[in-house]
A and B are shown apart, each in its own frame.
Chain A
Amino acid sequence: MALKDYRAMMERCSSCAGCKFIPFDKIKSLRFGENCPSIGYYNFMTYSARGRFQIGQSVLDGRADLNDTVTEMIHSCTSCGACDVTCKVARYNLEPLEHNIELKAYAVERDRVLDGQKPVIENLKKENTMIPGTKKTNRTDWAKDLKLKDLFKEKGDVAFFPGCKYSYDEKLQKVAQSAVKLLQGAGVELGYMGAADNCCAGRAHQMGFYDEFKTKAAANIKAFEKAGVKTIITPCSDCYHAFKRQYARLGFEVEVLHVVEYVDRLIQEGKIKFTKSIPMTVTYHDPCHLGRLGEKFEPWNGKEKKILNQIQIWEPRRPRYNGANGVYDAPRNILKSIPGVRLAEMERIREYSWCCGAGGGCNESNPEFSSWTAGERITEANATGADALVTACPWCKDNFGKAVDEDGNKIEVLDVIELVQQAL
């Protein structure tokens, strides 16, 4: 779809303010009632999903152009989808998140991008990673000491796909390595993509760089198919979303599992057993791309039809992505099964979770905004009295690790796998 194809949505948005708040039935306080980092930080209504619908109309009508402010606004969206969830509590024909990303693509097509985005995309093109400064040649260093089948050279059913962050960040590599050992210890035969291990490019899609995403996705799909991969296991929520939703949209059919899903399954089957108690209160942050954006893609090819004069329906019935079927329980099941760990929930959880701020490439392109967004979450985490903030995404973990709450306090940030490892 092109931006003009969203015209009906733009004109059917009613400025109800839903896109600025978590679902109203879920609001428990003034402090943590809002959902959109972008309007939360910038404050102008322009930055809300409604504002973006309105900018879309103005740009298409020629009343506004892609000047510097508009360009920055368009890209100052973490593509977290929180607006989408609340909007769809009561609407069946609006797709705010899709539109937000389409607006980015519209700007990208016209070369209206942010300075901070350029090195990220350049590195994706040149080195097949979305972390500026990292090289393709070092991509599989993390796997050196692991006994993993090289699926570039031989066939295998299950591919472990760590993603850029776990591949390059030395502090985070341990999490990926632990995850592999954990799965192997439970008898899972794993491979990795070896020389064909490249960025999934899901974040390029979130940023509106459609061409770059499609190029990389096509190459990855070819490599997975050549290796005969039937299941991809990843510890990265962004990769999870990319494979499960964006690659699926391109026709790639493969089982996609996040590590927490697999580990949860192994715990339930008794294949992972804990021997140590970890006396700790933790709170869990739902990564956007594992939670509300982690729903399975369902192919649909249909059109709008009107019944009873003006009531708009889809023919055939269209799949609805509203966060109802994201991955929420698996990580919580794991945490609850670790001896000594107590889970204290934040106010904004599951489909209406607050974003970490790293989404949409904003950690690179809009670092202050991204850091503020993470800080908001740490404030919420600290309000629970938890000793640690646990998550299941390297981008979230990294962004939280650098941020402080509104009083300048930090919190220990852990990946679910790190806690599991400690308790074995």
Chain B
Amino acid sequence: MALSREIYQALEDIVGKRNISEDIGVCETYRSIPSQSSAHYGPSKTWTPLPQAVILPKTTEEVQNIVRICNKYKIEFKASTTFWSTMGHIGSDYAVQLDLRRMKSVTIDTKNMTAVIEPFAIAATVQAEAMKVGLNVSIPGVGCSSSTLASTAAWAGFGPGTIFMGSTPENLLGAEWVLPNGEVLRTGSHGSGDGWFCGEGPGPSQRGMLRGIFGTAGTSGVCTKMAVRLHPWPGPKDFPTRGTIPAYRAEFGDNLKAYTLCFPDWKAWARSVQFFHESDVLYLGHRQFSMFGRNLKAAMLRIISSADLQLSDLETVLADPEVQKQNESMKLDYQIVIAGMTKRDMEYKEKAIEYILEQTGGWKNEMVLEKELHDFVLLYMTRLGHKNLNYVMCGAYEGTFGLSSNVWKTIQVIEEAVEIKRNWELEHTHIAATGGDSAMGSTSGIGGGGATGWEFFTNFDSYEDESVEGTNKFMDGNQEFHNKYSFGPDFCRWNSDVRHMNGYNYTQEEHDALYINNPQPWVYAYQYKMRQAINPNNLCGSYFRTLTPSKLEEAEQAK
């Protein structure tokens, strides 16, 4: 059903002719296909529905007016920024897509160490502005090309910086939030007109309602502006990059160093991580290059840090005995960056690393101590500007297994997961054979240290139907592993109960049927009431999990 002329005109009056389109070509480019982008419900070659119009608002007021029109005419709407993930796309036929690209300001408050940002301020630009005044922003593992506001308001954003700076949700301060019913709610200190510095008040907090633990992926309306906490950056005001594209590198000075730490077994690995969780030594910590797989990571590191090498050289590089030696050295590894706020602080941190390695039998990988590679890794880890490497080998990837848990729990099962993936790699051709272990992610998913936040990178060819279908089969099989340990849905299926494989929303009836059987159904019934309060017309898709309360009552009566 196309938008009536009356509705389209009303929307056009809000943003102006230049900033709205219902052209088929324009709307086609706002569809997502989960085989080409990580969607967390499994790769599929089905496009999400075609929006009826795409709208580019510039201000909170414009967003509010658009949302009011949507409520008046019961039109689904969803806002997104960089449009990487399928999560930001609409899920029904009678829907409009909001593209918040025109909202991208960044205002730094140096004294209070905060940044007030708009949706299209990607992490790279927030970081660049923050670094000018000696501050930094927590960039989630998804990389600096992602919207800081989106991962803070609407999804789980942890990454290398989490251990020092907290995950992005932990950095949420005041927010300006257009509720799905069209009201504007200003949260935290911003809500009482006292500035942006605090998320909890004075003024309404509503952090739980805005985003909860994992975020509601745009189902809770549109966050148009927010403040995020910034953190000390003892490095240069901008990156003194050198080197030939794509192998840029940078030297930040004596107080910023990158290491790849390696361990003889998972137990030693976990002990070291625990040490770091307890010692406040790390600035960044991430199991980064294992994304290329246990068998390939040293070779891939050589390739991506070279201006001359490319994937076609992979087999040659793999055959190099020195690369093989380094690969073996970094089998059980992770990358760290330490930052000395003072000379003594740096000395302490260097000593602490040596002590931790001594206690755990670990070592620093030699290859990453080479100056040129060190400076590449340091820049890579600090900016996280290489998200597209997720796709470099095959054109597509999806995270699987997850294992985002206490490190001691994770290491008990990780080799079993490795074996499952490795066997699939050897027995089938659907996914890249990278060596089983491709567990990549933060050494700490929460600020200060704690649970890991991992996913096994599973690389497949989005162009080849057989590869896409086979990858789905592999992922289906992994669920048995998760069921065995009661881990819940596999990482690659986290969204499988909120969007169908055909790209469409779940209906309330479908959600009722699902969640009534959940061990804690009343949680979903409570969320239904939350939704009713701010989104009575249920207009933002089905990523917010709800259960009609009357169904719960009926079920209890039936017992």
A45 contact set on B, CB distance < 8 A: 29-30, 83, 99, 101
A89 close to chain B: CB less than 8 A: yes
B391 touches A14 (CB 8 A): yes
Distance in angstroms from A269 CB to nearest chain B CB is 26
Query: Which of chain A's residues have a CB closer than 8 A to the CB of B36?
Result: 11-15
By a CB distance below 8 angstroms, the chain B residues around A27 are 124-125, 128, 385
Tell me how far the C-beta of B459 lies from the nearest C-beta in chain A, rounded to whole angstroms. Answer: 6
CB of A260 within 8 Å of the partner chain: no
Most chain A CB inside 10 Å of its own CB: which residue of B19, B99, B395, B428? B395
In the complex formed, the residue of A with least CB distance to B391 is A14
Given A30-B106, A310-B461, A313-B311, are A93 and B28 neighbors across the interface (CB < 8 Å)? no
Say yes or no: B462 contacts A17, CB within 8 Å.
no
CA distance A11 to B248 in the complex (A): 28
Most central of A63, A67, A311, A313 by chain B CB within 10 Å: A311
Q: Nearest CB to that of A89 among chain B residues? A: B246
A2 at interface, CB cutoff 8 A: no
Contact B248 A23 (CB under 8 A): yes
B433 touches A24 (CB 8 A): no
At the interface with chain B, which of A141-149, A209-217, A318-326? A318-326
Number of interface residues of A (CB under 8 A): 64
Contact B29–A312 (Cβ < 8 Å): no
Question: Could you tell me the distance in whole angstroms from the C-beta of A245 to the nearest C-beta in chain B?
Answer: 18
Chain B residues, CB < 8 A from A323: 245
Q: What separation, in Å, do the CA atoms of A224 and B91 have in the docked complex? A: 59
B96 in contact (CB, < 8 A) = no
Contact of B391 among A30, A50, A91, A306 (CB under 8 A): A91
B window 124-175: CB within 8 A of A: 124-126, 128-129, 132, 143-146
Q: Mark A291-329, 1 if CB is under 8 A from B, else 0.
A: 000000000000000111111111111101011100000
Instruction: Report whether B248 and A25 are in contact in the complex, using a CB–CB cutoff of 8 Å.
Output: yes
| B70 at interface, CB cutoff 8 A | no
The answer to whether B385 touches A25, judged by C-beta atoms less than 8 angstroms apart, is: yes
Residue of A nearest to B382 (CB): A25
- How large, as a class, is the contact surface on chain B? 35 or more
- Are A89 and B388 interface neighbours, CB within 8 A? yes
A54 and B28 CA atoms in complex are apart in Å by 7
Query: Do B383 and A30 have beta carbons less than 8 Å apart?
Result: no
Cα separation A306 to B128 with both chains bound (whole Å): 39
A interface list, Cβ under 8 A from B: 7-8, 11-18, 20-21, 23-30, 33, 39, 43-46, 50-51, 54-55, 58, 63-65, 67, 69-70, 73, 85, 87-93, 306-318, 320, 322-324, 351
Interface residues of chain B, those whose CB is within 8 Å of chain A, are 18-19, 21, 23-26, 28-32, 35-37, 54, 56, 82-84, 99, 101-102, 104-106, 121-122, 124-126, 128-129, 132, 143-146, 238-239, 241, 244-246, 248, 250, 296, 304, 307, 310-315, 379, 383-396, 425, 428-434, 459-464, 467
26 A-B pairs (CB sep. < 8 Å): A12-B396, A13-B36, A14-B395, A15-B36, A15-B83, A23-B385, A24-B384, A24-B386, A25-B241, A25-B248, A25-B250, A29-B125, A29-B129, A30-B106, A39-B101, A43-B19, A44-B56, A45-B83, A67-B25, A90-B386, A90-B388, A306-B461, A309-B428, A310-B430, A310-B464, A312-B395
